[in-house]
């Protein structure tokens, strides 16, 4: 490599010498700024901050978030919840019908260790949670997952939500804790009507929604629009990515995570190969973005395709084409899936490697 | 779950009870058949078998392949080569310009331990290998990577290949070992002309290509078509996948790996959620297949999209729609990337769990 002449070059040289490429790198100064910004947005809206740890999957990162004011974390998997308990995080919401985990006995095992709040959108999940609660000798706090337009999981009507609340109320091993939703933001008045109608029905059951939880980094900009919300789950905002740059939730400077990768082949004038392919950057298109990541040094170069370890560069529109051996920084389309590819991340600060930290809950399927 | 009534149900019940879902499961009987079939095809063509371990990333699987007749393995990464050395595999070809690894000092470290054959398509890679060889006190065997139509890495013309062979010949730390290519199969006579012209030029340099290595599971059907080939690298054929089913290289019965996943939500009549999303099955489309995997029990159900932990089921064309709690078997689009998501795989035989084995080289970036 040429002699480093800038801080960015110096950092690249240090990364190449210490870990090689490709390397997944997080700028810890940017992380600190992002954590503070998310907390400030929640504080300003009077809404509790429950960051989703799926993005970082790291105990120390979760502790940073709690230290900055977060009440706890959101998880998708029991294995993630275990990693958070290991890190000393106590207030945990699992935003998922963890049926396939509950049946393995693992839910009961974790409940023996600590209480959990878990989402459900159907009676089969409730029955599995109840059984696990009974086995563990602990009442399970349940949030009813509501769908207000995303068409993923979540009951579609207030009537269904109320019926699930009734089932929870009538089960001695379950406790109704509230509602969980992931608003699409397309029609806030409709979401508010769904919420109000559900809360009215739940009140008639003699229940109260102690928690009303919304989610999504893009929705941070709309905190406070929905009345009644008590807490918010944003995941991506700690690291950000090209998807967030594209939807306006972040700028390039807010992107804490990059993949440092070397141009290892330039077999023809208009193309090249990066040593980061689908086993590093993943094939996630970030909701249909063009190309597989943003190359900071060559914004006009396109990552046109992948093999497992090859990133196919289309340089036809690239004026200053990278040579073989150049190390470039790629902001991935979707950061959450890239973090999940690696056991360790290189943490940098002030242009130097500060620490190499573990992705504690990487690859937790169950 | 309902009482198991078939062997398949029994196995599902055992997987759910022991590991939960999603679970990545390999049928070891199918693996044994696939290994034998690939070896037989190579033997029949008089070509050495060098399976690519990127698919299984497992020491014991590589040993099975060698026991069946393979001469060694192919790798893409130094970390993979280390895992193979740990497993006692001696003959290793790295089919990649491992420039970003060489510069970290890791190449010299591995060369101190064992000899390696490595591919290169440019002088910058050669210089890095030479430096590592010098540091390790070992001459590095190099194969020139040739591109005969795939447009990935590899020199495009025989003249470039010959020039690289000359550079290798003239470097005291490098030894010219042969040629590596990944034919596209679209124009075999053109590939043969490329090969013959390159070999003629190399002979004029006083060199001989001890190895001429081709690759690809689909190309197993064309072994012997190219004259001069000494060995073949097939990766996927040990497990197979939906991509291989689609291109005719495998049948459903040849697919050894499946993801067992539970239907955890059915929020509307025509849709549902699997507990396997892009963090399990990956967003790899397998070269543009429709949907994100093949559901064995419901071939008319479509995995229409993913969140990280949600597989979005489109059941609009599904006659016998799965209910919440049903466990289904998904054959992934691209098996190599799915294996790389998990630390451990459930190995089954005769409808029972035989062992849970490690994916030794999972997530080896460098």
pLDDT digits (tens, 9 = 90+) for B54-103: 999 999 999 999 999 999 999 999 999 999 999 999 999 999 999 999 99
Instruction: Specify the fold of A7-27+242-358.
Output: Lyase, Ornithine Decarboxylase; Chain A, domain 1 (2.40.37)
Mean pLDDT (whole number) for A194-219: 97
Q: What is the DSSP letter of A221?
A: G
Mean pLDDT (whole number) for A280-303: 97
Q: From residue B42, give the alpha-carbon distance in Å to each of A208, A365, B31, B229.
A: 69, 37, 17, 11
For residue A242, the number of C-alpha atoms closer than 13 Å in the C-beta half-sphere is 25
Q: What percentage of residues in chain A have a pLDDT greater than 90?
A: 96
Which pLDDT value is given to residue B2? 55
Which pLDDT value is given to residue B5? 73
Gap from A140 CA to chain B (nearest CA, Å): 18
Cα–Cα nearest to B311, from B295, B297, B296: B295
Whether A277 contacts A307, CB under 8 Å:
yes
Q: What percentage of residues in chain B have a pLDDT greater than 70?
A: 99
- Interface probe, candidates A1, A20, A361, chain B, greatest B C-beta count within 10 A: A20
pLDDT digits (tens, 9 = 90+) for A310-337: 999 999 999 999 999 999 999 999 999 9
pLDDT digits (tens, 9 = 90+) for B1-16: 556 678 899 999 999 9
Which pLDDT value is given to residue A184? 81
- Interface probe, candidates B21, B100, B233, chain A, greatest A C-beta count within 10 A: B100
Q: What is the 3-state secondary structure (H, E, C) of B135-176?
A: HHCCCEEEEEEECCCCCCCCECCHHHHHHHHHHHHCCCCEEE
Report d(CA B215, CA B237) in Å as an integer. Answer: 11
The confidence band for A2, taking pLDDT boundaries of 50, 70 and 90, is low
From chain A, the residues in CB contact with B337 under 8 A are 278-279, 283, 308
Q: A279–B96: do the CB atoms touch at under 8 Å?
A: no
- Average per-residue pLDDT for chain B: 97
* B31 burial type by CB count under 10 A (0-12 exposed, 13-18 middle, 19+ buried): buried
Which pLDDT value is given to residue A5? 73
Q: A124–B324: do the CB atoms touch at under 8 Å?
A: yes
pLDDT digits (tens, 9 = 90+) for A241-268: 999 999 999 999 999 999 999 999 999 9
Of B101, B308, B363, the CB nearest to A341: B363
Pull the structure tokens for residue A234. Answer: 């944003």
Q: What percentage of residues in chain A have a pLDDT greater than 70?
A: 99
Gap from B34 CA to chain A (nearest CA, Å): 22
- Average per-residue pLDDT for chain A: 97
pLDDT digits (tens, 9 = 90+) for B78-89: 999 999 999 999
Of A152, A268, A363, the CB nearest to B343: A363
The confidence band for B184, taking pLDDT boundaries of 50, 70 and 90, is confident
Enter the ipTM.
0.97
Which pLDDT value is given to residue B1? 53
Whether B328 contacts B340, CB under 8 Å:
no
For residue A241, the number of C-alpha atoms closer than 13 Å in the C-beta half-sphere is 24
Pull the structure tokens for residue A41. Answer: 């947005």
Q: A265–B105: do the CB atoms touch at under 8 Å?
A: no
Under DSSP, is residue B1 helix (H, G, I), strand (E, B) or coil?
coil
Gap from A309 CA to chain B (nearest CA, Å): 7
CATH number of A29-238: 3.20.20.10
pLDDT digits (tens, 9 = 90+) for B337-365: 999 999 999 999 999 999 999 999 999 99
Which pLDDT value is given to residue A3? 63
pTM score above 0.95: yes
The confidence band for A1, taking pLDDT boundaries of 50, 70 and 90, is low
Taking the domains of chain B in order of start, what are their residue ranges?
A: 7-27+242-358, 29-238
Which pLDDT value is given to residue A99? 96
């Amino acid at each position: 490599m040429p002699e480093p002449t800038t801080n960015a070059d110096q950092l690249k040289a240090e990364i190449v010498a210490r870990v090689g490429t490709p390397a997944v790198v997080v700028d810890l100064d940017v992380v600190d700024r992002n954590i503070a910004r998310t907390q400030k947005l929640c504080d300003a809206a009077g809404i509790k901050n429950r960051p989703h740890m799926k993005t970082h999957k790291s105990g120390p990162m979760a502790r940073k978030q709690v230290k900055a004011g977060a009440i706890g974390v959101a998880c998708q998997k029991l294995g993630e919840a275990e990693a958070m308990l290991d890190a000393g995080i106590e207030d945990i919401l699992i935003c998922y019908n963890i049926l396939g985990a509950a049946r393995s006995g693992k839910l009961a095992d974790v409940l023996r260790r600590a209480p959990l709040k878990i989402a459900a959108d159907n009676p089969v999940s409730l029955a599995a949670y109840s059984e696990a609660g009974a086995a563990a000798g602990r009442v399970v706090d349940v949030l009813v997952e509501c769908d207000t337009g995303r068409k993923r999981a979540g009951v579609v009507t207030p009537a269904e939500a109320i019926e699930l609340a009734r089932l929870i109320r009538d089960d001695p091993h379950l406790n109704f804790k509230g509602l969980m939703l992931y608003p699409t933001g397309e029609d806030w008045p409709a979401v508010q009507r769904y919420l109000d109608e559900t809360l009215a029905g739940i009140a008639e059951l003699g229940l109260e929604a102690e928690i009303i939880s919304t989610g999504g980094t893009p929705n941070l900009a709309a905190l406070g629009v929905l009345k009644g919300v008590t807490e918010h789950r944003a995941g991506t905002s700690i690291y950000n990515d090209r998807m967030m740059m594209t939807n306006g939730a972040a700028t390039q400077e807010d992107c804490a995570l990059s993949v440092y990768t070397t141009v290892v082949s330039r077999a023809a004038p208009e193309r090249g190969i990066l040593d980061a392919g689908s086993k590093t950057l993943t094939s996630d298109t970030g909701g249909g973005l063009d190309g597989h990541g943003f190359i900071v040094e060559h914004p006009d170069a396109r990552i046109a395709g992948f093999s497992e370890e090859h990133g196919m560069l289309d340089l036809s529109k690239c004026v200053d084409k990278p040579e073989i051996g150049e190390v470039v920084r790629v902001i991935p389309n979707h950061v959450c899936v890239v973090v999940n590819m690696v056991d360790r991340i290189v943490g940098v600060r002030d242009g130097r490697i500060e620490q190499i930290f573990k992705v504690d809950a990487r690859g937790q399927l169950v």
